[in-house]
Amino acid sequence: MTIPLLNKQEVDFYQNNGYFLHKKQLFSTDKMSNLQTIFEEQLAQKGSKLSDELDTPHFRDERLLEYLLSDEVLDLVEPIIGPNIGLWSSHFISKEPFTGRPTPWHEDSAYWNGRLSSFEKIITVWLALDRSWEENGCMRVIPGTHRNGFSEYEDVDSKKNLFASQIKNVDESKAVYFELEPGECSLHDSRIIHGAKANTSPYRRCGYTMRYFSTEAKVDLEKNPNHKVWLARGKDIAGNPFVNV
């Protein structure tokens, strides 16, 4: 039997606000060091891709599954989305000193619309590999917006921004900044409005996102070509195309 890493008050905070900051070390020192090494290898191999575009690195390097399917992470996720957990995706997001592009206001669920049958229980664990604070473009969210449904978007310059669109008319005065030390992490709902400013500092800001969904949701094979999902814990409820391990 696993011991939940979040108590009822913390889970209630997440459900009400759409996020939670876990200001504790997620992995051991050795595991964090090894993860840093994997990231640096991925960064060196990126070729023409920008460092903020290192998507689904676990497709290329299965060493990352040690982290993505670990009890350390799943014990954090289970109190929020339940015991039946699918691994949806992961992503290294590195904003380089002075040149790291801003991440426009968005909902993750908007980019995944139609790819899963439900967004009720999808969570991202954002693990800080570098110190992440306002100066170097840490993530920021608008609390409570995970209950609002899909927002209206407008186009932005994709060369200057991480995405080519952003949510209209966001009240930035309500933003909460996710300042984290290396090894700490944040949790957020796939439907919450969030983004990040550009990195105008001399310090890199890198995080590893680990994304999970309740297996009550069905992944649409036709709308997810070449996308792989793993059964991380528990059992498959909806009949998903999980990778055999």
The per-residue pLDDT for 158 is: 84
Residue that wins the pLDDT comparison between 199 and 244: 199
pLDDT band at residue 159, thresholds of 50, 70 and 90? confident
In this prediction, residues 157-169 reach a mean pLDDT of 88
Residue that wins the pLDDT comparison between 4 and 96: 96
Residue 3 has pLDDT above 70, yes or no: no
Helices of type H across 45-98: 65-68, 71-81
Q: Which among 16, 64, 6, 19 has a CA at the least distance from the CA of 186?
A: 19
Residue 100 has pLDDT above 80, yes or no: yes
The per-residue pLDDT for 86 is: 98
List own/partner pairs for 170-177 with CB under 8 A and 24 or more apart: 170/105, 170/142, 171/142, 174/142, 174/143, 175/140, 175/141, 175/142, 176/19, 176/140, 176/141, 176/142, 176/143, 177/133, 177/134, 177/138, 177/139, 177/140
Quote the CA–CA distance of 192 and 187 in Å, as a whole number.
Answer: 11
Q: Which residues contact 6 (CB under 8 A, 6 or more apart)?
A: 14, 20, 22, 76, 79, 80
The per-residue pLDDT for 56 is: 94
Residue 9 has pLDDT above 60, yes or no: yes
Of 2.60.120.620, 3.40.640.10, 1.10.8.60, 2.40.100.20, the CATH number of 8-233 is 2.60.120.620
pTM of the predicted structure, to 2 decimals:
0.94
In this prediction, residues 86-103 reach a mean pLDDT of 93
Is residue 217 exposed (0-12), middle (13-18) or buried (19+ Cβ within 10 Å)? Answer: buried
Mean pLDDT of the chain: 93
Q: 180-231 pLDDT, tens per residue?
A: 999 999 999 999 999 999 999 999 999 999 999 999 999 999 999 999 999 9
